[in-house]
Structure 1
Amino acid sequence: MSKKNADPLRPEAQPPALPKVVGGFSTVLADPPWRFTNRTGKVAPEHRRLDRYSTMDLEGIKALPVSEVCAKNAHLYLWVPNALLPDGLAVMEAWGFRYISNIIWAKRRKDGGPDGRGVGFYFRNVTEILLFGVKGSMRTLAPARSQVNMIETRKREHSRKPDEQYGLIEACSPGPYLEMFARHPQKGWTLWGDEASEEVAPRGQVHKGYAGGEIFPPLHTNEQIPETVAAEIGREIGIRYEAGASIRDLAVETGYPIQRVRSLLELVETPMRKRGRPAAE
């Protein structure tokens, strides 16, 4: 008599579509829910009582079509546990990026010493690795030339990464920005994940862009973006403008300042109407 497979800890669900923006994302930050061999151990994400979060197997993570939602030239910042470094490199390659370098998060106590509460079978881990990869050809921005590849902060909730990562990434890589498997809100980023609302949300909540379909990428005031991405956005805005939308309408739709909308239209040489004049019938 054949035996049936044991029920999984949670049903394996097909991930929702990745969000898309006009021109593609130039920078992606991802903290995948890696699955360890011991899925129910005390420190495992899927511990039956602690129930921290669901995980994905390696093939499921590799299969996500990240390259398809990125710009031709893009950066990837990928968190990976020390024990799963080979898996992290395999995911990076599957997503269309080549490994360049890494940033180490050194977890510190209040007095600045190593936080010895880490776990591990061979060594007590007090670090995590943020892999850095490149798709196409794109150097880091000028501030990266003086940026050391280490973050030293105290750790917080289980698996939560340091907020300092955002400032570092925004200084070193251009937008638009996508955070995958996001668990906390971050201004100026497009989020994909089931715990990314203003308050930590129940599993399954859908966020803007989560179900696919192109949206305009959120941009910081005066944020510099690659000209190829700006041109893609400009062309998309131009279609709406030529269909009758005003610059003010486009500013409301995109969330961009009026001057940025005007600059994007001028970049792609969109014929401009005189101010206050509606589009010709």
Structure 2
Amino acid sequence: MSDGTPPDDSARYTTILVDPPWPTGQQGKYGAASKYALMTLERIKAMPIGALAADNAHLYLWCYPATRYVAEDVMREWGFEFKDEFVWGKDQMGLGQYFRHAHETLLLGVKGKLPVKFRGQRSFTMLPRQDHSHKPEEVHVMIQRLSPGPYLELFARRPAHGFHVWGNQVDSDITIPGYPVPSDIKTKTNTNTNTNTTKVAVTEEAADA
């Protein structure tokens, strides 16, 4: 691992990547609701991102046209100021009531003061669309080029080199109070059988900060 090495229990993450299960415009047989459980905006806003982020930190937040401006509200709720956006252009059309959408947007927010490490990054790129909600692996490389670690990805669907991950579909490296995921049960079972774990727990006190 590089500087994405998992921090100890007292550390926080300098760069956080989030791909929330947005509820907006995701109903019907072709929407995300048919693939996985969605969250309400209230539950998304209530996530203790402030307890996870360092005092000076970057937030990368995925959104799509129907949630583009709601995502900025969520970002502010988490203590970050919107700064810029990156657009992923897809090679296939998706859904849309007016235009058939062929892009998703990655917002960049900053908490405190933290400049990017690299100033030559283009704000748009074309990358192939994969299975539903599968974001390009190239984005992790881009984020590591732009932002310092340690790194955390929330709602991750697969392991990512250099990143701690959390979500329903991965063996999560952290626990978040009030937001249980399947691997929490595995970790609890291992603890009860005296098996050491490497999970970082976000404490209730920190979550309320």
Once the 2 structures are TM-superposed, how far is the Cα of residue 36 of structure 1 from its aligned partner? 2.3
Q: CA contact under 8 A between 2:153 and 2:164: conserved in structure 1?
A: yes
Equivalent residue for 1:43, pick from 14, 30, 35: 30
Q: For the residues of structure 2 that align with 1:195 and 1:210, how far apart are their CA atoms? A: 16
Deviations 1:116-162 (A, max 9, x none): x3110010100100000000001000xx2111112321010101110
User: Quick one: higher RCO (CA 8 Å, sep 6+), 1 or 2?
Assistant: 2
Q: For the residues of structure 1 that align with 2:198 and 2:75, how far apart are their CA atoms? A: 23
Quickly say closer, same or farther: Cα 1:69–1:156, change in 2 above 3 A. Answer: same
Q: For the residues of structure 2 that align with 1:210 and 1:94, how far apart are their CA atoms? A: 26
Q: CA contact under 8 A between 2:90 and 2:102: conserved in structure 1?
A: yes
Task: Name the counterpart of 2:192.
Answer: none
Which residue identity is paired with 1:32?
P
In structure 2, runs of 5+ residues without a counterpart are 1-6, 173-180, 188-196, 204-209
Q: For the residues of structure 1 that align with 2:26 and 2:75, how far apart are their CA atoms? A: 24
Q: Secondary structure at the match of 1:59?
A: helix
Does residue 92 (structure 1) correspond to residue 92 (structure 2)? The answer is no
Once the 2 structures are TM-superposed, how far is the Cα of residue 95 of structure 1 from its aligned partner? 0.5
Q: CA contact under 8 A between 1:104 and 1:127: conserved in structure 2?
A: yes
Once the 2 structures are TM-superposed, how far is the Cα of residue 22 of structure 1 from its aligned partner? 3.3
Task: Name the counterpart of 2:201.
Answer: 212
Task: Name the counterpart of 2:154.
Answer: 180
Which residue identity is paired with 1:166?
H
Equivalent residue for 1:160, pick from 134, 143, 147: 134
Once the 2 structures are TM-superposed, how far is the Cα of residue 210 of structure 1 from its aligned partner? 6.2
Larger radius of gyration: 1
Q: Secondary structure at the match of 1:68?
A: helix
Task: Name the counterpart of 1:170.
Answer: 144
Once the 2 structures are TM-superposed, how far is the Cα of residue 23 of structure 1 from its aligned partner? 3.0
Equivalent residue for 2:116, pick from 111, 118, 140: 140
Q: For the residues of structure 1 that align with 2:75 and 2:8, how far apart are their CA atoms? A: 19
Task: Name the counterpart of 1:237.
Answer: none
Q: For the residues of structure 2 that align with 1:34 and 1:178, how far apart are their CA atoms? A: 19
In structure 1, runs of 5+ residues without a counterpart are 1-18, 109-114, 215-281
Q: CA contact under 8 A between 2:26 and 2:33: conserved in structure 1?
A: no
Which residue identity is paired with 2:137?
D
Deviations 1:97-130 (A, max 9, x none): 000000000012xxxxxx2x31100101001000
Q: For the residues of structure 2 that align with 1:21 and 1:148, how far apart are their CA atoms? A: 35
Q: CA contact under 8 A between 1:193 and 1:210: conserved in structure 2?
A: no
Does residue 70 (structure 1) correspond to residue 31 (structure 2)? The answer is no
Which residue identity is paired with 1:23?
A
Equivalent residue for 1:151, pick from 107, 122, 125: 125
RMSD across aligned positions (CA) = 2.2
Quickly say closer, same or farther: Cα 1:36–1:188, change in 2 above 3 A. Answer: same
Q: Secondary structure at the match of 2:94?
A: coil
